[in-house]
Amino acid sequence: MSTPDSKGSYLHDLIESRLVLADGSVFEGDALGAPAVAASGEVVFNTVLSGYQEVITDPSYAGQMITFTYPHIGNYGTAAIDDEAQEPFCRGVIIREMARRRSSWRSEDHLDTFLRRHGVPAIAGIDTRRLTRHIRDRGAMPGAFGTADFDTLLSAANNEKGTAGVDLVSVVTTDEIYTVGSGPRTVVCYDLGVKATMLRSLGEIATVTVVPADTPAEDIMVMDPDGVFLSNGPGDPEQAGAIVGELPKLIGMVPIFGICLGHQVLSLALGGRTYKMKFGHHGGNVPVRDARTGKVEITSQNHNFAVESGSVPGVTETHVCLNDGALEGLVVNDAPAFSVQYHPEAGPGPHDSRYLFDEFAELMDSNKSLDRNGAS
């Protein structure tokens, strides 16, 4: 068992553990976090240099095991204010080295204690450079880690469904309607796995009513919102549930802004197509160019699926990823609606794209002005 000493450092009793991927690759390490005999999930990698707590608590990682490419994790501990959700939905955490001491005036707990409290298993001592290269070359794939033998872990990895064709939105969405923020406008947020930082950003421009992902469009319109927001979330957009069928009833009726999974479900509702990427975009340093201005933004991203460029009718494609040419944003030509694949709220990541929340506010205000003029 791991225990903090009197000086606040963390002493780990090393228990052998191993990670086995579905292709039979083996990575030796030590067990940390919640005890695990054979935890399984889709193994992906994230390139952020800090913000590990925000990443671990991002609901978009439901069904996945997070490999941190940065080698030293846990050095500033954890703080409740940095949680992006009430609990993590990821299946596990894979790191090179867990810091033995937390060193930050904000720190409330050790990362290992945090993981144990939330039931999240971890494995340390992994050659994460080798693992990242393997995923980059072979693609994200199921894996399992724990104290079990090789055959048990390989079987668990091969039985793992991954994220394609799986409904993960229903796992993370809210069960009850609630309100946050105190901004001057009114926004209804479809919770597909929304992050706390995202709600704080929206709360600066609007009073936000958060609703379950399966809320009918008629119920949304009864609320008479100034705008509708489509949040981030995990997994396959084609398995996101009723929202894809409900969105056509809202497009053109109220301004819409979608982020990440919200971008994907909006594209599907418009008749577009999505696909699963080889290893996705997970990090805080992804360059995106605005095709309208030529400006390049450094963005925070977390997604394994993307919208097929050229597949969405009636839109102008506005943003492109400079790493691989993936579609990163669009504007609907004949309706007040737009979306981006990346995360303007960051958490963690750069704030280059925070202006998009202001653009949403301007879109809502201009739409209200048109409504008033039309009524008169």
199, 210 Cβ separation under 8 angstroms: yes
Residue 169 φ/ψ, nearest 5 degrees? -60, -40
- Quote the Cα angle for 275-280-195, to 5°: 100
CATH architecture of 13-159: 3-Layer(bba) Sandwich (3.50)
Instruction: Give the residue numbers marked as catalytic.
Output: 260, 343, 345
Pick the CATH number of 169-375 from 2.40.50.100, 3.30.540.10, 3.40.50.150, 3.40.50.880: 3.40.50.880
pTM: 0.94
Ordered per-residue pLDDT tens for the chain, 376 residues: 444 544 455 555 779 999 999 999 999 999 999 999 999 999 999 999 999 999 999 999 999 999 999 999 999 999 999 999 999 999 999 999 999 899 999 999 999 999 999 999 999 999 999 999 999 999 999 999 999 999 999 999 999 999 999 999 999 999 999 999 999 999 999 999 999 999 999 999 999 999 999 999 999 999 999 999 999 999 999 999 999 999 999 999 999 999 999 999 999 999 999 999 999 999 999 999 999 999 999 999 999 999 999 999 999 999 999 999 999 999 999 999 999 999 999 999 999 999 999 999 999 999 987 766 665 4
Residue (of 334, 348, 239) closest to 299 by Cα position: 348
Domain boundaries, the chain: 13-159, 169-375
- Quote the Cα angle for 33-79-56, to 5°: 50
Residue 178 CB-half CA count within 13 A: 10
Q: How far apart are CA 335 and CA 230, in angstroms?
A: 16
Residue 190 φ/ψ, nearest 5 degrees? -75, 115
Predicted confidence at residue 376, as pLDDT, reads 42
Domains 13-159 and 169-375 share a fold: no
Predicted confidence at residue 369, as pLDDT, reads 73
Position of tokens 């703080």? 79
